[in-house]
Amino acid sequence: MLGFKTKSAADRAAFEAQVSPWLDTLYASAVRLTRNDRNAEDLVQDTVMRAWRFFDKFEQGTNFRAWLFKILTNTFINSYRRTTREKSLQDESERQSVEAQFFSSDVTDRAQNPEDYLLDRVMSEDVLKAIDGLPIDFRMVVILADVQEFTYREIADILDVPVGTVMSRLFRGRKQLQKTLLARENTETSPLIDLNAFRERKKLG
């Protein structure tokens, strides 16, 4: 019967010890996925609870962090995405050849200019905001690759998509991210003043 095979106190201790080091990264990723602290907390809570329920299915010695993130992204996709009404790319463009759109000329044919150099002092807040602005499928691979530093193979396993898809989403996601950041850099000559102006606007609004 479901749930009859109960876990021991030692199982629970092992589980807590294994999950604990990854709570910060789970939460940081959940915030990027949900773009909302409150929902991020719920997402982490659900993720850990599901991980606990399936803990006996986890093969000890294999990649626990990747296993946790698979649960995180699945949980997000199943419950949270439904409510956020975000459109998936999967349906439209990805039915066509991944390769064809991956290397389409619009994003790749121009040479890189020196102006495309991101400033070293680009604010973390801006980058995070720019990530939040990405469509969900791009956002997921950027989070997994650039925030969590998973390999393509691991990301493919986590998201259940081919490695080629991981690569193409990452390529396009990063392009879009850079474009946003460069545009911001070019319009903001003095980020401090703009930040204050932003706060003022927020207050007024």
Partner 1 sequence: MNCQTLDTELTPYLDGELVEEARVAVEAHLASCATCARRVEVERHNLSVVRLAAQQGPRAPQALRDSVFAAVRADASKARRMRAFKVSSMAAGVAFVVFLGNHQYRAHQFRLYEQDAALRHSRQFPLEMRQPGPEEIEAWFGGKLDHRVNVPRFPHATAAGARLLQVRDKQAAYIRYDSPRPMGLFVFGDDHDVDVGSEPMVGSSLGYNVVSWREGDVVYQLVTDLDEHDLRELVPGAHGTQAAPLDDVRPGTPLHSTPAVEARPASLQR
Which of residues 87 and 179 has its CB atom nearest to partner 1 in the complex?
Answer: 179
Instruction: List residues binding partner 1 (CB under 8 A).
Output: 3-4, 6-7, 9-10, 12-13, 15-17, 19-20, 23-29, 31-32, 37, 41, 44-45, 48-49, 52-53, 102-103, 108, 111-112, 114, 116-120, 122-124, 126-128, 131, 142, 145-147, 149, 151-152, 167, 170-171, 174, 177-178, 181
Which of residues 37 and 200 has its CB atom nearest to partner 1 in the complex?
Answer: 37
Which of residues 17 and 204 has its CB atom nearest to partner 1 in the complex?
Answer: 17
Q: What minimum distance in Å lies between the beta carbon of 162 and partner 1? A: 14
Compute how many other C-beta atoms are within 10 angstroms of the C-beta atom of residue 76: 22
Compute how many other C-beta atoms are within 10 angstroms of the C-beta atom of residue 28: 16
Q: What minimum distance in Å lies between the beta carbon of 154 and partner 1? A: 11
For tokens 């986590």, what's the residue? 158
Which of residues 148 and 205 has its CB atom nearest to partner 1 in the complex?
Answer: 148
Which of residues 27 and 64 has its CB atom nearest to partner 1 in the complex?
Answer: 27
60: which residues sit within 8 A by CB, 6+ positions away? none
- Alpha-carbon distance 21 to 8, whole Å? 21
Q: What minimum distance in Å lies between the beta carbon of 194 and partner 1? A: 17
The alpha-helical segments, DSSP class H, found in the chain are 9-19, 23-34, 37-53, 64-75, 81-84, 98-102, 105-108, 124-132, 136-142, 152-159, 163-187, 191-204
Q: What minimum distance in Å lies between the beta carbon of 132 and partner 1? A: 11
Compute how many other C-beta atoms are within 10 angstroms of the C-beta atom of residue 176: 19
